[in-house]
């Protein structure tokens, strides 16, 4: 009986162990066959660290290869919460909050994560990095990254723009050329030991592809001169805003663009969006009397008038339909040339009435108004000009003198350049070429002729008239001692919210070129709501004079007869 019980117990124990063995075999089979991939991935994650390798963002240069946007090395802080003791976490939370100016709640959320890699702060300053290293907290580490830096701070800020924390362009050239500048991200798999410590041994690696460099047509020296003089006028006349554009009238190369207000590219996050707006291409305004160059050119090209033809300017008061048109200074008889010199609204309107709405509109479009110039910067608008069928009875006395039409500063510089260069409307551009890191040209941009606005003969006659504007007329404050200059003043009333013209808000403008007979630069200056003085000939003309004078000396331009520069600069027609 005792022996039988013993055998039964032995069989029972054997059976239990046999079942357990089968269960273990089944479990092993399940792990090996069905869970092997998952478990292998966990092991791989424990021993391998995937790291993205950041490419070098391309440099932005001026025309003389002086850097305007560069990369500098910066430390980025990360943590490994799974290998940190609770005391280290608490110390990190309390100390890093003050060093990095971060909320403790944000840091607590980061350090409570059960991960081996968590970003704490990207691209911190050298002082912050040194302070954190001195804490000697286990579980904190640094990865070297690059940070965008703008060595000239405010200079050409509205053109260059800026890139964000991840080195992606957000404004200006940084955004429009981001696909060239950014490059391609690489990656690497690094080995770690059992304690999760990085061994700096790469198991696999895909090297990043650096971004291309951008060379602008902007000249750093000319840009500085333009910014300085515009800033002086902006502050002197307590203006709401201001813009200046300096362009090579033959090629369309933009040598400088500046706006006020402006901002430091290194502190872009601390300024209002209004300060970041590129007013020269995206602000619409009525041009006022600077627009009379279109009417005058049209009259000469259509052979409707000659420079010596006389017009009676009605002693300053003239009815157009149900509207009374006035001149700022009442005038009697003036020659056509004097009408432009003295900026007579009445004389210009009488010339426009001879031409008719269709002809005036034709030349407005020929000079590029109502259409985008095609400049290679973001945010350009097309302006506004109504077709003649939508003109009112008073429009013939408004459009020819720069009312009922909206323009931009970049359109004005293109239009005045057409008179300066012999009648050719050229496309303005700001990117000269794209290069790789070895200096090899990847893509090059050339001058483009849009169309012939007026004949070379008419352009030459207009240059003489605009020279008289500076020598004898409303633009005398633009007159230089060493160089001849030509241009046109403008003082435009702004439109109030009610739709009526303001009596205390104006846009003061000057458009011109120098030297008058062989222009090297065309310049447009617009000042928004200057006070107490608001006339274009007083506010903007002196800015033109100072900028043109210094720029021409810098370029070593001589006051020589026209012809040489035209031969040096070639343009191609758009297909």
Return the active site residues: 289
Coil, strand or helix at 66? coil
Q: Around 448, how many Cα atoms within 13 Å sit in the side-chain half-sphere?
A: 15
pLDDT above 80 for 463: yes
- Phi, psi of 117, rounded to the nearest 5 degrees: -150, 120
**Distance from C-alpha of 133 to C-alpha of 141, rounded to nearest angstrom:** 9
**Distance from C-alpha of 431 to C-alpha of 454, rounded to nearest angstrom:** 27
Structure-model confidence comparison of residues 240 and 10, the more confident one: 240
Highest mean pLDDT (candidates 52-61, 108-117, 314-323): 314-323
**Distance from C-alpha of 77 to C-alpha of 141, rounded to nearest angstrom:** 6
Q: How does residue 566 score in pLDDT terms, banded at 50, 70 and 90?
A: very low
pLDDT above 50 for 561: no
Query: H or E segment at 67?
Result: strand 67-79
Q: How does residue 569 score in pLDDT terms, banded at 50, 70 and 90?
A: very low
Coil, strand or helix at 134? helix
Listed in order, strand segments (DSSP E) in 298-404 are 310-312, 317-320, 323-326, 333-335, 384-385
Q: Which residues contact 372 (CB under 8 A, 6 or more apart)?
A: 380, 381, 382
DSSP 5-40: HHHHHHHHHHHHHHHHHHHHHHHHHHHHHHSHHHHH
Residue 441: beta bridge partners?
435
* Predicted local confidence at residue 13, as pLDDT: 74
Mean pLDDT of 311-316: 89
* Predicted local confidence at residue 553, as pLDDT: 93
- How much is the mean pLDDT over the chain? 85
* Predicted local confidence at residue 574, as pLDDT: 38
pLDDT above 60 for 87: yes
Residue 243, burial from CB neighbour count under 10 angstroms (0-12, 13-18, 19+) = buried
Q: Of all residues in the chain, what percent are helix, strand and coil, respectively (each to 5)? A: 40, 25, 35
| Reduced 3-state DSSP string for 326-394 | ECCCCCCEEEHHHHHHCCCHHHHHHHHHHHCHHHHHHHHHHCCCCCCCCCCCCCCCCCEECCHHHCCCC
Q: What is the pLDDT of residues 487-512, one digit of tens each?
A: 999 999 888 888 888 888 999 999 99
pLDDT above 70 for 232: yes
Tokens encoding 421: 């260069």
Coil, strand or helix at 106? helix
Please say whether the beta carbons of 290 and 179 come within 8 A. no
**Distance from C-alpha of 218 to C-alpha of 63, rounded to nearest angstrom:** 6
Rounded-to-10 torsion of CA 364, 367, 368, 370: -10
pTM for the whole structure: 0.81
What value does the CA radius of gyration of the chain take, rounded to a whole number of Å? Answer: 35
Complete domains list, the chain, with CATH: 50-94+116-216 (3.90.1310.10), 220-265+277-573 (3.40.710.10)
**Packing angle of the helix pair 104-111, 86-100 (nearest 10 deg):** 140
pLDDT above 60 for 310: yes
* Predicted local confidence at residue 565, as pLDDT: 40
**Distance from C-alpha of 439 to C-alpha of 492, rounded to nearest angstrom:** 47
Q: Write the CA distances from 87 to 90, 137, 218, 418, integer angstroms.
A: 5, 10, 55, 73
**Distance from C-alpha of 60 to C-alpha of 74, rounded to nearest angstrom:** 19
Please say whether the beta carbons of 68 and 60 come within 8 A. yes
* Least confident stretch, 29-38, 384-393, 396-405, 422-431: 29-38
pLDDT above 60 for 237: yes
Tokens encoding 344: 């007579």
**Packing angle of the helix pair 292-301, 456-471 (nearest 10 deg):** 140
**Distance from C-alpha of 409 to C-alpha of 492, rounded to nearest angstrom:** 14
Q: Which of 66, 121, 81, 70 is nearest to 98 (CA)?
A: 121
Residue 371 Cα to chain centre, angstroms: 19
**Distance from C-alpha of 385 to C-alpha of 372, rounded to nearest angstrom:** 12
**Distance from C-alpha of 531 to C-alpha of 511, rounded to nearest angstrom:** 20
Q: Which of 475, 510, 545, 16 is nearest to 288 (CA)?
A: 510
Q: What is the DSSP letter of 57?
A: P
Mean pLDDT of 169-178: 90
Report the length, in residues, of the chain.
Answer: 575
* Predicted local confidence at residue 189, as pLDDT: 64
**Packing angle of the helix pair 36-47, 2-34 (nearest 10 deg):** 60
pLDDT above 70 for 486: yes
Q: How does residue 567 score in pLDDT terms, banded at 50, 70 and 90?
A: very low
- Which residue bears the tokens 């001589």? 558
Structure-model confidence comparison of residues 140 and 414, the more confident one: 414
Rounded-to-10 torsion of CA 405, 330, 535, 306: 60
**Distance from C-alpha of 42 to C-alpha of 35, rounded to nearest angstrom:** 11
């Amino acid at each position: 009986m005792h022996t039988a019980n013993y055998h039964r117990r032995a069989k029972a124990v054997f059976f239990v162990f046999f079942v357990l063995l089968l269960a273990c075999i089944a479990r092993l089979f399940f792990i090996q066959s069905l869970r092997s991939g998952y478990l292998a991935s966990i092991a791989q994650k424990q021993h391998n660290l995937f790291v993205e390798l950041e490419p070098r963002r391309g440099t932005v240069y001026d025309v003389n290869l002086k850097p305007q946007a560069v990369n500098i090395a910066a430390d980025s802080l990360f943590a490994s919460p799974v290998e940190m003791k609770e005391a280290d976490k608490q110390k990190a939370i309390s100390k890093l909050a003050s060093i990095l100016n971060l909320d403790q709640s944000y840091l607590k959320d980061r350090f409570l994560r059960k991960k081996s890699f968590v970003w704490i702060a990207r691209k911190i300053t050298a002082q912050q990095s040194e302070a954190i290293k001195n804490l000697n907290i286990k579980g904190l580490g640094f990865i070297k990254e690059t940070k965008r830096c703008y060595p000239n701070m405010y200079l050409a800020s509205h053109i260059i723009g800026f890139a964000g924390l991840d080195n992606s362009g957000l404004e200006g050239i940084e955004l429009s050329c981001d696909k060239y500048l950014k490059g391609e991200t690489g990656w690497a798999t690094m080995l770690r030991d059992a304690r999760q410590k990085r061994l700096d041994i790469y198991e696999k690696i895909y090297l990043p592809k650096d971004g291309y460099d951008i060379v602008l047509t902007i000249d750093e020296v000319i840009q500085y001169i333009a910014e300085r003089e515009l800033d002086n006028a902006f502050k002197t006349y307590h203006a709401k805003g201001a813009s200046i554009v300096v362009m090579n009238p033959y090629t369309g190369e933009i040598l400088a663009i500046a706006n006020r207000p402006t901002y430091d590219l290194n502190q872009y996050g601390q300024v209002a969006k209004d300060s970041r707006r590129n007013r020269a291409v995206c602000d619409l305004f009525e041009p006022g009397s600077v627009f009379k160059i279109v009417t005058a050119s049209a009259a000469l090209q259509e052979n409707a008038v000659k420079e010596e033809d006389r017009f009676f300017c009605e002693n300053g008061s003239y009815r157009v339909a149900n509207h009374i048109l006035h001149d700022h200074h009442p005038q009697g008889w003036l020659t056509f040339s004097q009408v432009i010199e003295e900026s007579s609204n009445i004389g210009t309107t009488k010339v426009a009435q001879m031409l008719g709405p269709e002809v005036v509109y034709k030349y407005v479009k020929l000079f590029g108004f109502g259409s985008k110039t095609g400049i290679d910067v973001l945010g350009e608008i097309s302006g506004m000009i109504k077709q003649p069928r939508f003109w009112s009875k008073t429009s013939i006395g408004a459009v020819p003198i720069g009312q009922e039409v909206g323009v931009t500063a970049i359109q004005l510089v293109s239009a005045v350049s057409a008179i300066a260069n012999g009648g050719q409307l050229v496309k303005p551009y700001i990117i000269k070429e794209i290069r790789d890191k070895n200096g090899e040209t990847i893509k090059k941009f050339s001058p483009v002729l849009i169309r012939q606005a007026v004949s070379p003969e008419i352009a030459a006659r207009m240059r003489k008239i605009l020279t008289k504007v500076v020598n004898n007329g409303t633009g005398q404050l633009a007159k230089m001692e060493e160089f001849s200059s030509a241009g046109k003043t403008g003082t435009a009333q702004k439109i109030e919210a009610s739709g009526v013209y303001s009596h205390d808000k104006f846009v003061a403008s000057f458009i011109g070129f120098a030297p008058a007979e062989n222009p090297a630069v065309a310049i447009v200056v617009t000042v928004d709501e200057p006070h107490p003085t608001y006339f274009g000939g007083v506010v903007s003309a002196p800015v033109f004079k100072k900028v043109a004078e210094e720029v021409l000396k810098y370029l070593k331009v001589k006051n020589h007869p026209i012809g040489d520069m035209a031969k040096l600069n070639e343009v191609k027609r758009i297909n």
